[in-house]
Each structure stands twice: as structure tokens, then as C-alpha cells.
């Protein structure tokens, strides 16, 4: 743990990156903006990575949807981070792909001695031959697998022994294979209910000097927190019946607080905020008299593939 004086001298970058193309869901742009607005104000340096809102013309290239746009945004994020050379980074995303630049930077800065808590319903170690949405590739890229240009943006690959999945409850066969290949550790939702010991014990054994927390909001129980892709109003009851139960908000808060009390947190990324009601309301307001276009008929678009 850092002393209070050391914390005061350290530099934190607050990074807004409303990237949506990695999950092919424009709602993530609004979701990231709302996260940044809702989060407590800080005196930290703040930057926003430019993200295109253009939906037309995006194509699948080398198995990845909107590959060119994503690579540009990745390089822009890397440039912003390097410009400030922070000691700590807060990220408000956007899809999970926003984590590639900050984790790469911090893992390199601290000589690979960074534990990554992947607090997420999904493993995110897929690859283009199995899945075209890049947000599901990002942790694989950090391990050195996937599209070569995304992997080349990682100056120091993450040690698989430094990764712990927290709350993971869904994985595809292609992801299971990668998880087994790297022997990645998992603490499932049921082991978090009573206390945080499973996570704290893993950290005690790993003994990292720093910790990065990736927090995908879809790890939460979507019957409690409904601003995630799973909670599609038109398929809500079906999803409730079919999907495994996530973790409660209070459980995740307690786990992350317990970790922060015992370890030096150098990064926190919060991603995949899908504000269904706000997204629909935004579309409605664009179509009303005096404030919008009464000839506009477009309804909110979304991609129903996790």
C-alpha cells in the first residue's frame, strides 16, 4: 500500500473513452458519458478519447467489426495516456475494448507486476475466427492472442498468473480452451456472497505490487441493475429464465472496497453501461416537435450479440 504522501504525489488520469464499435452498440457511447457524469468529481487530469459516432460504412475486416475505427481509437487512447504519463488511470467506457491501452500502459510501467481483477460475466479471450466483436478479444490481446495489430499495441504481455476472474458466469467453448491454455483463475459469483476471502486469498498468494480492476457492469444481477445489455426490455423475461444470476451491486462494492483496503489500486475501468431507458428517451426527444425532427422514423439500434 502507498502512504498518504505517496498517493498525494501520484498522478491520476481520468479517461473518458465512449467507444461502442467493439460491441457494435451505439448505446455504449451514451453509457460512457453518463458514467462520467454520474461519477464523483475529482481534481484529476481529465481527457476524452475522440470516438466516431458514424454507423454507416463500418465493415468486418480480418474477422473484426469496425477494425479500422477501433485501431485508430486504440492508438489515440495510447497517445493520450503517454502524453500524461500517469501513475493511475480511471477509465469510463464504452465497450470492454477500452481497457487495452490503459492496462498495457500500466502493466509496462510497473514491470509486469500488476494483478488484473477481471470483474466480468465474460472471459473476453475470444478471437476473430470465433467472434467478430472486438470487446470480447481484449484480455486475449493482453495475453498475446488475437489480431496481430491489437497485440502489437501491448508492449509487455500480461502474465496469466496475474489474472483473476471475479464473478465470471458465462463462457463459450472457444474461450474455455484459452482459459485452460493459460490456466486462468476464477472466483465464481457464489463464492463472493458471504465474504471477499476467495479474492483476497488469491491476491495474498500472488503478491502483486499493484492491482488494476476491470469492472464490466454486466457482472451485476440484471434484475437489480437493468442498464446492461442482458436487460433488453423486449426480452427481459426470457433472459431472466435463461441466464445465470449475476452478483448483487452491494457484493461487488464490498469486494472492491476490501481489495482497495489491502492493495495498491492503480487502475479502475468501468465498462458496458447500457442505459436502455435513457437511450430510448434520447431517441424519442430527437423525434418530437420543436426540439427534434418530426419526420425522423429511426428507432434506437442495438446489437443483440454478447
301: DSSP letter: P
Residue recorded with cell 485501431: 71
Residue among 228, 212, 27, 225 at smallest CA distance from 108? 212
Counting Cα atoms < 13 Å in the Cβ hemisphere of 59 gives: 3
Residue among 288, 252, 278, 255 at smallest CA distance from 30? 278
Reported in sequence order, the residue ranges of the chain that DSSP labels E, i.e. its strands, are: 12-17, 45-48, 60-61, 64-65, 88-93, 114-119, 163-166, 185-187, 210-216, 265-271
Model confidence pLDDT, tens digit, residues 53-67? 998 899 999 999 999
- pLDDT reported for residue 1: 56
- Which regions in the chain score pLDDT beneath 70? 1-8, 306
96 contacts 146 by C-beta, under 8 angstroms: no
Q: What is the pTM for the complete model shown?
A: 0.95
Grid cell digits, residue 85:
504519463
Residue recorded with cell 480492476: 213
- pLDDT reported for residue 2: 53
CATH number of 11-285: 3.40.800.10
Spatial neighbors of 131 by CB under 8 A, at least 6 apart, are 137, 172, 174
Q: Please tell me whether residue 139 adopts helix, strand or coil conformation.
A: helix
Residue among 80, 87, 86, 104 at smallest CA distance from 16? 80
Phi/psi at 92 (5° precision):
-110, 110
Distance in angstroms (rounded) separating the CA atoms of residues 84 and 91: 14
Q: Residue 106: which H helix or E strand, with range? A: helix 100-109
- pLDDT reported for residue 3: 56
- pLDDT reported for residue 301: 84
Amino acid at each position: 500500500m502507498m502512504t498518504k504522501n505517496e498517493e498525494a504525489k501520484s498522478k491520476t488520469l481520468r479517461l473518458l473513452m465512449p467507444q461502442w464499435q467493439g460491441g457494435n452498440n451505439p448505446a455504449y457511447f451514451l453509457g460512457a458519458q453518463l458514467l462520467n457524469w454520474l461519477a464523483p468529481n475529482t481534481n484529476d487530469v481529465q481527457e476524452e478519447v475522440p470516438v466516431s459516432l458514424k454507423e454507416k460504412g463500418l465493415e468486418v475486416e480480418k474477422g473484426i467489426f469496425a477494425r479500422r475505427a477501433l485501431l485508430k481509437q486504440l492508438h489515440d487512447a495510447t497517445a493520450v495516456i503517454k502524453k500524461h504519463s500517469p501513475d493511475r488511470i480511471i477509465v469510463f467506457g464504452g465497450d470492454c475494448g477500452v481497457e487495452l491501452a490503459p492496462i498495457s500502459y500500466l502493466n509496462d510501467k510497473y514491470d509486469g507486476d500488476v494483478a488484473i481483477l477481471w470483474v466480468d460475466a465474460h472471459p473476453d479471450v475470444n478471437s476473430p475466427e470465433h467472434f467478430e466483436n472486438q470487446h470480447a478479444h481484449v484480455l486475449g490481446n493482453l495475453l498475446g492472442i488475437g489480431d496481430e495489430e491489437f497485440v502489437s499495441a501491448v508492449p509487455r504481455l500480461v502474465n496469466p498468473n496475474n489474472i483473476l476472474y471475479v464473478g465470471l458466469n458465462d463462457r463459450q467453448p472457444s474461450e474455455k480452451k484459452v482459459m485452460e491454455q493459460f490456466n486462468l483463475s476464477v472466483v465464481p459469483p457464489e463464492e463472493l456472497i458471504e465474504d471477499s476471502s476467495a479474492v483476497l486469498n488469491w491476491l495474498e498468494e500472488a503478491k502483486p505490487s499493484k492491482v488494476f480492476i476491470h469492472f464490466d457492469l454486466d457482472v451485476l444481477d440484471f434484475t437489480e441493475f437493468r442498464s446492461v445489455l442482458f436487460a433488453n426490455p423486449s426480452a427481459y423475461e426470457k433472459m431472466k429464465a435463461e441466464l445465470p444470476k449475476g452478483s448483487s451491486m452491494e457484493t461487488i462494492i464490498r469486494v472492491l472496497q476490501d481489495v482497495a483496503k489491502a492493495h495498491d489500486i492503480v487502475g479502475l475501468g468501468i465498462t458496458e453501461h447500457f442505459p436502455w431507458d435513457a437511450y430510448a428517451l434520447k431517441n424519442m426527444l430527437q423525434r418530437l416537435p420543436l426540439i427534434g425532427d418530426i419526420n425522423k422514423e429511426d428507432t434506437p439500434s442495438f446489437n443483440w450479440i454478447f
